[in-house]
Structure 1
Amino acid sequence: MAVETKTSRGFTGWHMLGTMIAFFGTIIIANFTMAYFAAHSWSGLVVENSYVASQEFNEKAEAGKQQAALGWQVNAALDNGDFVYTITDKMGAPVRVNGGTVEFKHPVGDVHDTRAVLEVRGEGILGTSIDLADGSWIMEINADAGLNEPYRRISRVLVRNGKIH
């Protein structure tokens, strides 16, 4: 009696087709996934019209130079939701302020950007209650200090454990 053994047929064309479909299918799915998230996440738009923004740059730069020449000193403090901003002149005397705004922006994206109105809390002192998550923020202050333009200060701050560092 003869025993019939089945021999393996090896790597066939069907195996190659399956390997190619799996390989290129994975690449195509990854590309479509990345394209979807790119199209449905932050737009990357910083200004509506870059031409107009470029024309305003020189004016903003000149206003910044004039404000820097004032020699005013500023201090920002955050203590568990209580934000205080002080402005003093170059002699250390408080600068009279009539209010202002503060805006905290994330360096990338605008999902958690926070804006608040600053109220006068004393001579040269502005403040507000604000809830900020820990992380890196770009802080923009616009204070009404009786100048032609609001006194504007932009700085990068780190919030950790409810305090600015």
Structure 2
Amino acid sequence: MTGKSSGGQFTGKHMAIVLVVGFGIVAAVNLFMASLATGGFHGVVVENSYVASQKFNTWLDEAEKSRALGWDVAASRDADGHVLLETSAIPAGALATAELRRPLGAHEFASLTFTSLGDGRYRSSEKVDAGRWTMRLRIEAGSDVWAGERELR
């Protein structure tokens, strides 16, 4: 018995379409995931990861001590390019410093010192170039030390 099948034939043209669509989906997903990975990376590259791992628990202890102080800091930039800090619960006369680095792209660094404006506000003595920065703050008041990281845009 000879007869025609009820469905159409699967030709080379169909196979080409399946391959193009399949690889197109894979490429689209890969591009999407790569853009998420590069857009969200905020890590720090260290010179020696083993040495950094040995300091990790010390860094956790310092972070816990900072949280226990109850101090809070918000950072922004004024029109002149200086960094402004708005603090709460920090004793008068505290000294503030910061180390800045670019989170992505060119390895650019800056150091800041701050002058108190009163009422828990501080202004950097140095101007900061426009763009995105990661800022590591350190505030000292007597024997109390607060350390934290803020993003500056």
Tell me if TM exceeds 0.5: yes
Structure 2: distance between partners of 1:131 and 1:122: 20
- Native 8 Å contact 2:102 2:133 kept in 1: yes
Structure 1 residues 21-65: Cα deviation after superposition (integer angstroms, max 9, x where no partner): xxxxxxxxxxxxxxxxxxxxxxxx833332221111111112112
Equivalence for 2:132: 136
- Structure 2 residue ranges without an equivalent (≥5): 1-43
Equivalence for 2:123: 127
Deviating beyond 6 angstroms after TM superposition, the runs of 4 or more aligned structure 1 residues are none
- Native 8 Å contact 2:137 2:149 kept in 1: yes
Equivalence for 1:106: 102
**How far did 1:110 drift?**
5.4
* Residue 152 in structure 1 maps to residue 147 in structure 2: yes
Residues 156/82 of structure 1: CA separation in 2 closer, same or farther (3 Å cut): closer
SS of the equivalent of 1:141 reads strand
Considering only aligned residues, what root-mean-square deviation do their CA atoms show, in Å? 2.4
TM-score (structure 1 length as normaliser): 0.55
Percent of pairs with identical residues? 29
Structure 1: distance between partners of 2:62 and 2:130: 32
TM-score (structure 2 length as normaliser): 0.58
Structure 1: distance between partners of 2:93 and 2:105: 31
* Residue 118 in structure 1 maps to residue 117 in structure 2: no
- Native 8 Å contact 1:81 1:129 kept in 2: no
Structure 2: distance between partners of 1:88 and 1:147: 18
Counterparts of residues 1-165 of structure 1 (less than 5 Å): 46-79=45-78, 80-89=80-89, 94-109=90-105, 111-122=107-118, 124-148=120-144, 150-158=145-153
- Structure 1 residue ranges without an equivalent (≥5): 1-44, 159-165
- Native 8 Å contact 1:99 1:143 kept in 2: yes
